[in-house]
Amino acid sequence: MAWTRFGKKKDMPGGLWIKCENCGAMLFRKEFEARHRVCGACSYHFTLPGRERVALTADKGSFKELYTSLRAEDRLGFIDRIPYKDKLKASQSKTGEKDAMIVGTCTIESKPVVLAVMNFAFMGGSMGVVVGEKVTLAIEKALELSLPVVIFCCSGGARMHEGAISLMQMAKTCGALCKLEEAGGFSISVMTHPTTGGVTASFASACDVLLAEPHSLIGFAGPRVIATTIKKELPKGFQRAEFLLEKGQVDRIVPRENMRRELAKLIAYSQDEEVMIADAKESAADSKAKPEKPAAQAAEKKDKSKGKKKHRKDSAAKSSKKGG
């Protein structure tokens, strides 16, 4: 798998240049970082460190971090190649983080949200008790403050070092999302490269809107494991965001540079019908200005937003039934 090579020294000759793991182009590091780790040659989206994601997503100076005291414990005395305890310490000193999840409140284009961001650099973004707890707390905070929650996913799956406790996080996070949905809240999951295992199988796929960054690997088991198990060749682009969009697993693919805009727009849609009407009018005006693009497009957009609203209403009705 391509992502397992990420971070190996052979792909990063010297400090000044970096090799694109998709097209092989040599990228000048400063330029590459200025483009928020997107390849200038092929637009491949590299995994973005958690703190860079927060800085890129939140309005400047608006992020207020929460739950910073939570840290993982080695409850099982688990020993892999090295003891889990030592692995945790090494990851903490390497990343300067206590675990693989950053949570806080912020604004995105002036819209207040609860933001949760996974950090792949910390033990492959694996979900142990701290990650699961922070996702749950983020969702509960959204419920408490009546704010939307935006979760950036990036993970190798559940953290096996914590055994069944890590698997329990799947049910816990989904339970919290269910409560948010019943209360009429709004959640967005952004699946980035790579989102796999127990994270894909829980909160990453259970939010109201599922976005993905281009070419992200999203799946439960890795493609090589599946191919070996079923002894069949997998279809081209299997488990990539574009393939999943075609199959209906994700709602939209959004390039990194447009993500903030897209999130702000979705949040506005979720809160205010006026915004939807204004947007449809704007599209209609656009299509009049450009006769090549007929009014059908605007109508389609309007229909889509109606559809979405209907879905929201439907789910609200469902929830009230469940509640009753």
Contact positions toward Zn ion, by CB under 5 A? 20, 22-23, 25, 39, 41-42, 44
Beta strands in the chain (DSSP E): 17-19, 26-28, 64-66, 101-108, 111-118, 149-155, 187-196, 209-212, 218-219, 252-253
Amino acid in position 323: G
Compute how many other C-beta atoms are within 10 angstroms of the C-beta atom of residue 260: 16
In terms of CB distance, is 27 or 174 closer to Zn ion?
27
- Smallest distance from Zn ion to CB 51, Å: 24
Quick one: which H or E segment has residue 33? helix 29-34
In terms of CB distance, is 23 or 183 closer to Zn ion?
23
In terms of CB distance, is 23 or 277 closer to Zn ion?
23
Distance, in Å, from the CA atom of 271 to the CA atom of 284, rounded to the nearest integer, reads 22
Contact by Cβ (8 Å): 107, 113: yes
Distance, in Å, from the CA atom of 83 to the CA atom of 88, rounded to the nearest integer, reads 9
In terms of CB distance, is 19 or 179 closer to Zn ion?
19
Locus of tokens 């190798």: 156
- Smallest distance from Zn ion to CB 45, Å: 10
- Smallest distance from Zn ion to CB 20, Å: 3
In terms of CB distance, is 13 or 294 closer to Zn ion?
13
Residue 45's SS3 state is strand
- Smallest distance from Zn ion to CB 238, Å: 20
Burial of 204 (0-12, 13-18, 19+ CB in 10 A): buried
Contact by Cβ (8 Å): 93, 130: no
- Smallest distance from Zn ion to CB 257, Å: 15
Pull the structure tokens for residue 51: 């703190």
Amino acid in position 116: A
Cα 122 to chain centroid distance, Å, stands at 16
Q: Which of 30, 35, 31 is nearest to 48 (CA)?
A: 35
CA dihedral defined by 163, 167, 173, 174, rounded to 10 degrees?
Answer: -170
In terms of CB distance, is 19 or 312 closer to Zn ion?
19
- Smallest distance from Zn ion to CB 133, Å: 37
Pull the structure tokens for residue 124: 């492959």
- Smallest distance from Zn ion to CB 12, Å: 14
- Smallest distance from Zn ion to CB 40, Å: 8
In terms of CB distance, is 25 or 165 closer to Zn ion?
25
In terms of CB distance, is 23 or 76 closer to Zn ion?
23
